[in-house]
Structure 1
Amino acid sequence: MSTSVAMANHQHEWEDRAWSLPDLPPAVQLSGQRERLGDLADDELLEVARAARRRASWAQARELAAIAELHRRRIDAESEVDPGYRMLSAHESVTEEVAAALMLTSSAAATLVHLAERLTGPLSATGAALEAGRIDLAKARVICDTTDDLPDQATQRVEAAALEKASDQTTGQLRRRLKRIAQRLAPEVIEERKREAVRRRRLELWETPSGTADLALCDLAIEDAHAIYNKITAAAHGLKTDGDTRPLTTIRADLATRLLQGTELPDATRTLLTHTCATPAASGVAAPAGVPHETRTAAPGIGAVPTDRTSTASDRGAGGMGGVGGTGGDRCSGGAGGEVGGGYHIRSDTGGHSNGRVGAEAEVASLADIVDELLTQARGRARPADRRIAIGQAAHHIHHQLSDAREAACQGDTHTHGRPGYRPPAKMRQEVAARHTTCVFPTCNQPSHRCDLDHTVPWRPGITCRCNLAPLCRRHHRLKQRLDWQLIQIWPGLLIWVTPSGTWHIIRPDRQ
């Protein structure tokens, strides 16, 4: 099936389902393309905005329904099998599959999978309201968050109360109202939820788009949080009264920073801030010892920004990766090398040790495009039920075809391929870490120095060589162990993930 045919089928699918979209007001039907919005009156523009939001809600409901169906299939397929501690469960696996397909962080994908389960299960009425455009995704999240862990009867009553007025309330108004209702219906559950959250209290750090960073104390007991905030605010007001010209918000931030850094404060300020510091925490929960430091690169719930090192099948529509024009014969010239299916060649000097670094990187980029095209062709030839197997076989076939060229490129001064031992030498570890600065899963931001240096093909029968090593965080190392996932390193630093759905993700070296 060609990409053009897939695109045509994709368009027909939407045309066939157009009847289920929320009704459009006359102004929207008459507005035509974007350029004609200038002809509409102000109230008609607001009608267009409201109709677009209803359509967005419908699309988000369909997205969640698709995720829920995928999750159900994966869980059913593994219901009789215990994956063991060395690999991820089916639930965790589908979370990573969604993360890779939608370019989300694992935490954001987990939130989406959980929401999909809830809106197609106990909160199906909320899912129907989202699909009809009566509420948006933000309000659906509020309903889901409030009813988590509530008994079934309480969940139904909270949901009914929410949907009664949700379309006329902001998310803040809805959250406050549902919180009161849930507290009245299930006070014990709400109290236990609060205690559990306090037990998970933590300090989090993430970078912001402006080049700064946010530092947050999360899930403190509410009394402790208010006490800290009020005390710092009182000290800030004191400095303001003494003539400090900085904004109050800035003074608060600077005071907190100086306190945490141990910087000397004025006597009056220090006395005020430390007056009741010896008071035990109101939560009554002892601080755990030995808590590991955790750093985030994005705010919680925010998807990671995709990097140029990753190409995904989902980026190109239903037909998989975009095709590459031309023939392989004029892609790579000169040098002894290996032939990839269809007459494509790759030079044996393609790699990080080439004197022509720019040329070598161009060769690797060209190889990635060639592989992309070959996998697209394999997908088009396979039946839908056989695509995962066909893509995996095609990737392994490419890996086999490049074996001689890969061996020639990896031979050093000793003219041997790889090292005999399991542990790579320091120089090899440094090269792999420089090649991939993070875990090689498409959406993972875990720095490579915190990852396992994994043998893509297990050490036996695999080898310890730069063409068989890549950093994997512990979670994605366990994901790789699953039989329905495949990871193939066809060239040093050039890897292919094949998912249980038969999509693929090509990982390039970071410098590209």
Structure 2
Amino acid sequence: MTEPGVPAPDPLMAARQFQILARRAEAAQLTAMVEHQDALEAEERLAELPLHARREARKVPVRQLALELRMSERTVAVLLGCARFARRELPQTWRAFGEGAVDQQRLRLVADAAMSLESAEHVEALDTAAEKKAPESTAAQLRRWLNRFVARLGPEEFARSCEQAQRHRHVRLQHLENGVSLLQALLPTVQAAAIEKRLRAAARGLDGPQPRDPEAAETPAPSPDLMSTGSGPACSDHTDSAPQPHDPRTLDQREADLLAAWLLDGRVGGTPVEAALAIMVPEVTLTGESNEPAVSADGAWAIPAQAVRELAFAPGAQHRWYEAVTRRPSSAEDDVLEIRYQGRFAPQRLRDAVAFRDRTCRAEGCSVPAEHCDLDHRIPWPKGPTTGTNLQALCRRHHRMKSHGYLDPPDAVADR
């Protein structure tokens, strides 16, 4: 209880302070683990053990820490490896970790990304940028940013790492309890993204029109995908269709059923489904003057330059091209929206441009891809015009919060 006359602490501020304290304790614990390993390894060197004995001796601190902290030895080994690398190669990010600005999960994300780089100069550049980016990002946003940053930082390294990773592509099946099994596939990202788009488009295609949400205005329903037929972020007044009464399956259930049908007999029923990918690629990459990678519309993944050129010039491929203005002419990374229209409803090109610009829902901390969001007027129409500067992508949840006055206006467009 607070003393009379003393204002009660702000619970929100208190929660933030406890988070910082927890992160500092996490950093102190990991530092102590590394120091314990260092101390035992120093004794090992003094003992001048033979090489084979030294290898076994190095497992001792891992074993001791695992037993003391009730962790698996594998988890301890991974944490120690990450900490030692970050302490040595990522001093700025390691300092932010110790100060409580970055938690262990974000430290590991940055360290994993840095380990994929071949150049010490690139590692240093990543460390400098990550120190500023990691504290202000959720883990999902940081992962997306790291994917783009690493790909752009060293295009040749990125292409080689992609080629090496794709050699490990595989399909695995694990039978679980309760009559279900887990199917996993490690595939090239372009193929996986195309499968995801096609599944979503086909599953939503099973829907029929339903009564619109009473909170939304009367406008046509949105299409599911950015680059498929009539696609793009839904207008702010759009609502998603719900399953017909005779098909009570959720979207996830329908996607699972469709995938099983495709794999078992190659048929999905009904008409063929077309779904395309939306990527941002510098013109100089297409012409071969640069090897800067392309970036997906939501900024979640990147594609090596050579793979992009193969996609662009594949015989029979059908592409829809947009020419966009960026702050950095050679980059596929920055804002692309310079389009303005009049009228209440955004044309298709403007919807696509907003999706490319915003990448994800504009609400802070939200990672829903912009192509699956509503297209919201910052200043409600007709007072606010239908222009690029007055439109933003908001997922349904945050759009409704904004409509009822429970969401602060999102910040201006920034690197996400």
**TM-score, with normalisation over the residues of structure 1?**
0.39
Question: Per chain length, whose mean CA-contact separation is higher, i.e. which structure has more relative contact order (CA < 8 Å, sep 6+)?
Answer: 1
User: What is the TM-score normalised by the length of structure 2?
Assistant: 0.47
Bigger radius of gyration among the two:
1
Identify the structure with the greater helix proportion.
1
